[in-house]
């Protein structure tokens, strides 16, 4: 019975994440269009695209790794989603919240991109491999401020679990966004790299790499990749809300907080053209890491 | 207890027999070789009791042999990896020359490593240490030539380490009057402070050389890449662990008694961290798989040294667990490179591509080994990495943990380079004929890969022996009860429950794999790697789409300033300086009788001229 509820919880969480993530993606397209003074597609366009892709028949494959690449990607998104608590006080299915901590989360988040990288590697498309190396390089860049921010929180509150950090916020009554401002800034700046919107869209780089790792995928492969991306977006935003904005008690609050956070990378990207890879890496090792260092110093002193 | 003698007699006799059996036939040679290694291994685990010591007195010096739990843990690495590598060697050495030479040194290396583990006195420890160095040196110069002086470099550094150790042994003897390791440890707290500092430094120099710790690592890339791959898997997997073995003993039993020990620990931990970071960067740069793995070994040993050096419970567990994992995955990866070298004749990423469909089993073991190396769950590497991070965070090493994080994130780049370079990418006509490696080579690799996967969710298999070993060294354990349930704990009480995580990963993966394969893997048609959309155009038959040159170039540009200086160059400059100094000396000592006659003449003239002043 307990197992059944767990599985049910995982499925419901997944569906919510899928719908929210897809809608956010559609809103992103809409907002981008309005900023560029276009009309843009309706906000539910992503659902139409997903439906179309999933109903397409697949005719070719490049071998077993290519076939399974999107499944690797999905493992990482869904696992991230299941580890991150959706609401405070487990007002939602707890899923795997108590089974893993932040270090596990950081590592499971890299599982998917690497699996996907193998899948797109097997297609033999050089653009895919170039995109992957760019993506991994960028990851080395943004992981530094991101980890610095997390470690600052960990050492200040002597816990490495997400629930522990949420409880600490509930007890003190202040969000970490205000009590650990430097960690928040570092984490938000690292978020630009994590979401890979402009100016850090060097992986897909539409004009140079013809969408990079995704280039040989269509139909069902692309559908799975797209849903994985949506779920991952939701999971990452929820993680940020849990860590820095005190979590959310119900769905409207969660949507409000996540969407507010989501606007940061979108709106920043609209005003900035794409960086080159080494510029992007060095950008993350500049001010974001400086703020991360400040966060650690603050955590050690307090 | 006579079993222990018997094992060493088997090793020695087997080595000599194998060497000469080559004249009678190669199959017989293979059989004797395998029988020696496997026979001695099974005899060791069947007949040798733990903590059962024996002593003998050659020439008035008491020597003691026997194995404790800590040595037993490392014997798993040495004999386990040694046996699998031995099976692999039979396939690898098929049709190669100097097989007798290879087998002889292989057996001697395994024997020497086991000897180090059973030595309870410094004399036999030193002797086995030297046998290990010699046999591995002979393997480095397996090709007969030492053009780039790689073997020489290895030997010089090993000699520096050995002299340091010898000096420490003499110092210890002058105080304690015995050579027993136990007596040394007991006498250590009463020694004067300067000796308390010098003895560990000298020992750690010796162990640091073998563990390829910065700045003593420069021999490793050359030595690892120039010895035969079947041996390098042992060289990097097991032989380097002997340095770790010694280091742990020195750190746990001696330095923990020293109030100033914290400086040792911090220095070592930071050296380990720097080794990890710089080793990773240099690994990314390499285009030869052997060199890449060699630098990666240096980097991985850096993690191990860091974990061992911070010396908290979780740190030691992490270091030793990573040591076992490193033996497994680096052993496997060097075997993979050996298999590819045997089947294609080259190990360069810029030459070989697209082997995945030709060597699927090799790819499978390489994939699992790489996942373990990268520390990605649910494989065993993650357990070690997790414990290392938590140990660093909970023991207030905030900056060091970021350095380690940087190193292990950057490691993804060379991990991907390894897999992509050999197995992915364009399939080229040149490699169409390539077949899977023979079974004797594939089976050990796959076995090790599967063992890594098991360790990811049942780490208790290795953590329990590690616990016993640490208790043997005088360390108290607290987490032991949790390992049978596969839960990892840090000292703040945070946990990772491995089994449910594994089941979830597998369930999600299987579900989406079915979604993707639904209506058929069979229904879709395989298309070659030339049949792709490159910028909307179908590439022509002879268009070169292979991407292997300048891999990760943007990343290397970003970290360029760090990699400008190389310690190797300073050593080389120092050696060149010495060489020119000796060149100058040779102008004086010409070896020519007439020159010496002039010297004598000049000397006499000077004496005669200045005799009033001088005398």
Chain A residue closest to B520 (CA)?
A: A58
Residue B535 confidence class, pLDDT cut points 50, 70, 90: low
What residue ranges do the domains of chain B occupy?
Answer: 325-522, 565-614
Per the model's pLDDT, the better-predicted residue between A206 and A150 turns out to be A150
| pLDDT above 80: residue B479 | no
> Would the pLDDT of A145 be above 90?
yes
Q: Which of A133, A135, A221, A235 to mutate to test the interface with B (most CBs of B within 10 A)?
A: A133
Burial of B345 (0-12, 13-18, 19+ CB in 10 A): exposed
pLDDT of the residue at B560: 81
**Geometric angle at alpha carbon B45, from B44 and B48, rounded to 5°:** 60
Q: Which residue of B has its CA nearest to A223?
A: B516
**Average pLDDT of the residues in A126-155:** 88
The number of folded domains in chain A is 1
B486: pLDDT strictly greater than 80: no
pLDDT of B144: 74
Least confident window among A35-49, B125-139, B581-595: B581-595
Strands B525-526 and A60-61, by their bridges, are parallel
The residue in chain A having the minimum alpha-carbon distance to the alpha carbon of residue B356 is A122
Residues of A in contact with B545 (CB under 8 A): 124-126
State the DSSP string of B191-252. S-HHHHHHHHHHHHHHHHHHTT-TTS-THHHHHHHHS-HHHHHHIIIIIHHHHHHHHHHIII
**Over B338-389, what HEC string results?**
HHHHHHHCCCECCCCCCCCCCCHHHHHHHHHHHHHHHCCCCCHHHHHHHHHH
**Nearest neighbour of B416 by CB, restricted to A132, A147, A164:** A132
Query: Considering only B221-235, B382-396, B495-509, which range has the smallest mean pLDDT?
Result: B495-509
Query: Chain-centre distance of CA B53, in angstroms?
Result: 29
A20-48: b (≥16 Cβ within 10 Å) or e: bbbbbbbbbbbbbeeeeeeebeebeebbe
Contact: A210, B504; criterion CB under 8 Å: no
Q: What is the ipTM of this complex?
A: 0.91
Question: What mean pLDDT comes out for the span A256-281?
Answer: 87
pLDDT the model gives residue B95: 81
How close A91 gets to chain B, by Cα (Å)? Answer: 21
Q: How many residues does chain A have?
A: 302
Q: Over pLDDT 90: what percentage of chain B?
A: 14
| Min distance A278 CA to chain B CA atoms (Å) | 5
From A257's Cα to the closest Cα of chain B, the distance in A is 27
Least confident of A33-37, B532-536, B571-575, B607-611: B532-536
Of B371, B490, B517, the CB nearest to A160: B490
CB atoms B545 and A126 under 8 Å:
yes
The predicted structure's pLDDT at residue B303: 92
Residue A53, pLDDT > 90, answer no
**Nearest CB to B525; choose among A59, A71, A134:** A59
Give the tens place of pLDDT for each residue, B299-314: 999 999 999 888 888 8
Domain that holds residue A181: 2-301
Q: Which two tokens stand for residue A128?
A: 């895919």
pLDDT at A290 > cutoff 90 = yes
Q: For the stretch A159-176, what's the b/e string if a residue is b when 16 or more beta carbons lie within 10 angstroms of its beta carbon? A: bbbbbbbbbbbeeeeebb
Q: Give the pLDDT confidence score for residue B536 in this predicted structure.
A: 65
Contact B525 A70 (CB under 8 A): no
Q: Which of A109, A160, A182 to mutate to test the interface with B (most CBs of B within 10 A)?
A: A160
- A17 contacts in B (CB within 8 Å)? none
| B505 contacts A101 by C-beta, under 8 angstroms | no
pLDDT at B173 over 90: no
What integer pLDDT is reported at residue B614 of this predicted model?
A: 67
Indicate the pairing of strand B495-497 with strand B525-526.
unpaired
Instruction: Give residue B347's pLDDT.
Output: 87
More confident residue, B535 or B612: B612
Among A107, A129, A220, whose Cβ lies nearest the Cβ of B382? A107
Kindly indicate the confidence band of residue B369, based on its pLDDT and cuts at 50, 70 and 90.
very high
Q: How far apart are CA A75 and CA B372, in angstroms?
A: 17
Q: How many helices (H) and strands (E) does chain B have?
A: 26, 5
What is the arithmetic mean of pLDDT over B136-146?
83
Please judge whether B420 and A151 are an interchain contact, meaning their C-beta atoms are less than 8 angstroms apart: no
- The pLDDT value recorded for residue A293 is 92
User: Where does A216-276 have alpha helices with state H?
Assistant: 219-244, 251-270
Find the mean pLDDT for residues B257-280. 86
pLDDT value of position B480? 66
In this predicted structure, what is the pLDDT of residue B478? 63
Say if the Cβ atoms of B513 and A96 lie within 8 Å.
Answer: no
Q: How many whole angstroms separate alpha carbon B283 and alpha carbon B293?
A: 7
- Taking alpha carbons only, the member of B217, B369, B233 closest to residue B301 is B217
Which pLDDT does position B481 carry in this prediction?
Answer: 64
Does residue A58 register a pLDDT over 80? no
- Asked if B172 and B199 touch (Cβ cutoff 8 Å), the reply is yes
- Look at residue B1 in the predicted model and tell me its pLDDT: 59
pTM, to two decimals: 0.90
Q: How far is CA A36 from the centre of its chain?
A: 25
Average pLDDT over residues B451-469: 86
Per-residue pLDDT of B216-238, as tens digits, reads: 888 888 888 888 888 888 888 88
């Amino acid at each position: 019975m307990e197992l059944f509820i767990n599985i049910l919880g995982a499925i419901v969480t997944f569906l919510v994440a899928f719908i929210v993530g897809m809608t956010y993606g559609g809103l992103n397209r809409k907002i981008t269009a309005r900023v560029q003074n276009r009309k843009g597609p309706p906000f539910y366009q992503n659902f139409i695209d997903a439906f179309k892709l999933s109903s397409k028949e697949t005719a070719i494959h490049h071998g077993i790794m290519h076939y399974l690449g999107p499944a690797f990607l999905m493992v990482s998104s869904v696992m991230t989603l299941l580890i991150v608590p959706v609401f405070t006080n487990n007002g939602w299915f707890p899923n795997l919240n108590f089974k893993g901590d932040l270090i596990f989360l950081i590592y499971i988040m890299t599982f998917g991109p690497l699996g996907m990288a193998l899948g797109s590697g097997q297609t033999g498309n050089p653009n895919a491999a170039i995109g992957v190396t760019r993506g991994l390089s960028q990851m080395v860049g943004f992981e530094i401020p991101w980890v610095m921010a997390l470690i600052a929180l960990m050492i200040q509150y002597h816990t490495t679990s997400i629930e522990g950090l949420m409880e600490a916020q509930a007890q003190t009554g202040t969000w970490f966004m205000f009590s650990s401002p430097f960690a928040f800034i570092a984490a938000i700046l690292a978020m630009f790299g994590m979401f890979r919107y402009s100016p850090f869209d060097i992986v897909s780089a539409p004009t140079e790499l013809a969408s990079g790792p995704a280039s040989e995928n269509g139909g069902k492969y692309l559908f799975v990749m797209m849903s994985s991306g949506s779920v991952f977006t939701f999971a990452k935003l929820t993680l940020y809300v849990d860590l820095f904005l005190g979590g959310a008690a119900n769905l409207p609050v969660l949507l409000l907080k996540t969407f507010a956070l989501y606007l940061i990378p979108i709106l920043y990207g609209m005003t900035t053209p794409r960086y080159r890879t080494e510029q992007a890496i060095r950008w993350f090792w500049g001010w974001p890491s400086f703020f991360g260092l400040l966060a650690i110093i603050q955590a050690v002193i307090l | 207890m006579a079993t222990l003698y018997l094992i060493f007699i088997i090793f020695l006799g087997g080595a000599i027999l194998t060497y000469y059996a080559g004249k009678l036939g190669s199959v017989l040679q293979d059989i004797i070789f395998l029988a020696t290694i496997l026979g001695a291994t099974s005899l060791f685990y069947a007949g040798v009791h733990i903590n059962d010591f024996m002593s003998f007195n050659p020439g008035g010096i008491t020597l003691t042999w026997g194995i404790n739990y800590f040595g037993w843990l490392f014997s798993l690495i040495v004999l386990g990896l040694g046996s699998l590598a031995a099976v692999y060697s039979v396939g690898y050495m098929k049709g190669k020359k100097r097989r007798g030479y290879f087998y002889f040194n292989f057996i001697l290396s395994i024997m020497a490593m086991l000897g180090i583990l059973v030595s309870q006195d410094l004399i036999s420890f030193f002797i086995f240490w030297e046998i290990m160095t010699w046999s591995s040196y002979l393997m480095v110069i397996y090709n007969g030539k030492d053009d780039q002086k790689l073997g020489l470099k290895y030997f010089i550094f090993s000699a520096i380490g050995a002299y340091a150790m010898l000096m420490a042994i003499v110092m210890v003897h002058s105080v304690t009057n015995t050579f027993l390791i136990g007596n040394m440890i007991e006498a250590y707290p009463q020694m004067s402070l300067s000796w308390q500092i010098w003895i560990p430094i000298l020992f750690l120099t010796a162990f640091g050389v073998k563990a390829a710790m910065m700045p003593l690592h420069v021999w490793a890339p050359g030595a690892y890449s120039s010895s035969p791959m079947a041996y390098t898997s042992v060289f990097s997997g097991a032989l380097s662990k002997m340095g770790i073995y010694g280091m742990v003993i020195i750190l746990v039993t001696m330095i923990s008694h020293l109030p100033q020990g914290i400086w040792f620990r911090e220095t070592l931990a930071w050296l380990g961290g720097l080794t990890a970071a710089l080793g990773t960067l240099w690994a990314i740069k390499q285009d030869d798989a052997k060199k890449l793995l060699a630098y990666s070994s240096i980097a991985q040993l850096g993690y191990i040294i860091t974990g061992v050096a911070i010396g908290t419970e979780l740190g030691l567990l992490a270091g030793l667990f990573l040591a076992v994992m490193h033996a497994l995955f680096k052993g496997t990866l060097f075997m993979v490179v050996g298999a590819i070298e045997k089947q294609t004749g080259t190990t360069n990423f810029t030459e070989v591509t697209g082997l995945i469909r030709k060597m699927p089993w090799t790819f499978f073991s390489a994939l699992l080994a790489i996942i373990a190396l990268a520390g990605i769950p649910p494989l065993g590497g993650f357990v070690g990495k997790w414990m290392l991070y938590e140990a660093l965070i909970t023991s207030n090493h905030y900056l060091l943990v970021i350095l380690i994080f940087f190193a292990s994130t950057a490691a993804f780049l060379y991990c991907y380079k390894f897999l992509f370079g050999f197995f992915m990418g364009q399939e080229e006509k040149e490699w169409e004929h390539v077949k899977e490696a023979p079974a004797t080579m594939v089976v050990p690799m796959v076995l090790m890969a599967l063992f890594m996967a098991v360790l990811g969710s049942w780490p208790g298999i290795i953590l329990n022996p590690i616990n016993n070993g640490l208790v043997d060294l005088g360390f108290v354990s607290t987490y032991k009860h949790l390992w049978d349930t596969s839960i990892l704990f840090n000292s703040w009480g945070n946990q990772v429950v491995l089994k449910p995580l594994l089941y979830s990963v597998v369930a999600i993966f299987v579900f989406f794999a079915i979604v993707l394969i639904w209506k058929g893997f069979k229904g879709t048609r395989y298309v070659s790697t030339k049949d792709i959309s490159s910028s909307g155009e179908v590439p022509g038959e002879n268009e070169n789409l292979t991407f292997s040159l300048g891999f990760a170039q943007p990343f290397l540009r970003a970290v360029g300033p760090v990699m400008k200086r190389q310690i190797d160059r300073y050593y080389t400059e120092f050696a060149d300086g010495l060489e020119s100094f000796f060149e100058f000396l040779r102008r004086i000592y010409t070896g020519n009788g007439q020159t010496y006659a002039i010297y004598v003449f000049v000397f006499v003239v000077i004496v005669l001229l200045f005799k009033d002043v001088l005398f």
